[in-house]
Structure 1
Amino acid sequence: MRRITRIATVGVASAALALTATACGNKSSSDAGSDSKEAGAAIAYDIGGRGDQSFNDAAYAGLAKAETDLKIKGSAAEPSEGESDADKVQRLTELARSGNNPVIGVGFAYAPAIKKVAPKFPKTTFGIIDDSSVTGKNIANMVFNEEQGSYLAGVAAAKVTKSKTVGFIGGVETPLIKKFEAGFAQGVKETDPSVKVLSQYLTQPPNFDGFSKPDLGKAAAQGQLDKKADVVYAAAGLAGSGSIEATAQAGKWAIGVDSDQYSQKGLAAYKDQILTSVTKDVADSVYNLIKSVKDGTPQTGEVRYGLDKDGVGLADSNPAYTKMADVVAAVEKAKKDIVDGKITVKTTP
């Protein structure tokens, strides 16, 4: 697979120009779809696109693994700035007509488009990450218990804060991102009720710049730092990189999201201040769906990834984190209590 050009902002290419590789087994452009065992696989990126060091890059990692392990060819399509649902419909249609199977929409924003496109390609499996609202016989809903991983981040934040003030930054105020906030705030408060949690969202729907503009994340983090926050957790996609930058430059602790951001090359300059990251196994969810199609038993319906199966978790790549024995112990205890049902994590703030 030819690599996709890295981007720093949304909108470097239209859907028609953003396909970066052709899939194998393209037998027909008919709406009937293609043979699931012969077709390649495709992903359509969310806001921020490839190179966000977070959500989209995790999806790409799953596709890349499938190419290597399963010997399939992949395609990928970038979002365009200010695009409509009609643009997403066109993108998914083009990917399916090119013979790709499965076709995966990275993010809940693809729900309306998949609802329209999936019935037209009954032999093609469509996957959607972070959404369970749209269903169908050929649709797999890959969803995560983000609130559980965020609870662990809250535990860690409450244990390391010295100012007794921590921050949460959400990219766009949607039900999905509120799950991150809810879990984080609960983890903080149940670990140390005296710690104050500052919460802020960068944009409101239908403005989704809060997932794609690093300057917004940087400004929000600076505002929280000015209010004495010494730990800042951002669930904001590409915008979160701005939050990490501001927090690291201030010598405070940043908590990453989706991918293990300590290990992301684009954030290497700030890695020492990335305490940990709330991870979602988006890569495996993409890989598992592709493998299921190749094996002839495609996943459909809800496929949930929670703390019990390490579908979400807390990264421990930073040596500074692993040396904090009391923090690690508190996080491990909280993880066990969640898995054992002793702690129920809220999904709304």
Structure 2
Amino acid sequence: MPSSHAVADSPFKIGHTPLTRYEVILNGQRHELLVKEERCNEFGSVKDRVAWYVLSKTMEKIGPVTSVVDASSGNYGNALACICQRMGIAATIVSSASISAYNATQIKASGARLVIAEPKPGESSNAARMRVAGEISRAESPVFLDQYSNPLNPAAHQYWTAPEVFADGPFDAVFVTSSSGGTSRGFSDYLQARQDKTPLFLVEPESSCAFMDSPSASTEKLKIPAYGSQRRSSFAGMKPDPNMIRMDEASALAAFTLLHEHKLSQVGLSGVGVMLGAMDWLSKQDKPSRAVCICADGDERYLDEMESRYIPSVAPAAYEAAKARLAPVIGGMRRMMCAKAYAQ
């Protein structure tokens, strides 16, 4: 690892998250599904890595900082706010009205200022967050970390998350979703730099266009935080185009419910979508295969709003049909020993 990209020593428990193994039987083949449980980072998500990497590398470059501002749909803002609280740095997080109650509460509890950006006519919520964060930076002079455009975002995954995952390889395929796009681009850059032919799959709902246009040109509003994006990622442009699996949100919600009923998993909603994408791919393989999923966060961020917000956001018939279709598959899953224990 080049020293310029080396992960700065972190005073927090970030990284070395568990890789949990499942046995799943699909179309008569017995496969291994591995789940990278980023919920086990100290502040609860894969964005802990990005927040620490971006902040620490920025301070390496410009020296100590006293205040920062950045835009976030939720998890990154939560992680950055918690890290800044521990380091005595004032933080302003600009988010949208769609931020989860969990993340909003955590950000405020850390002492950070939470600003909700209101989109202008024709402006996406993501663009509004970025605009307001920039305005605050110009008016108040905090350091604008700019995670949505900062190359340190994908670098955190290229030089930290991906090497940690592939230390437990090889795999037949790796699966991620996109929000800022940093995870997807970081894994792509890691594989290309190593000339590793492991296929990388992005799993997103139909109306996401973070890296590729929606096949149906759907503009339906996304329902699950950080599961796809309706803004083209600043980190798009991967060559060749990424492999894409479209997995609907009703299926992700139904699978989340079933995984809880069977006490199989504590990953969050976007991670469940990624797991479904991997299972869809595995179902088409003609020999036993090993697929790894990067699951961004944990169920605690969604449980309190499942019945009031998330499940009612999809058509009841679609949710029930997905639950009936997925019940035998998830009911047949078997959790194995963790491939790697979390380093306390």
On whether the aligned pair clears a TM of 0.5, the verdict is: no
Higher relative contact order (Cα pairs below 8 Å, separated by 6+ residues): 2
TM range (shorter): 0.3 to 0.5
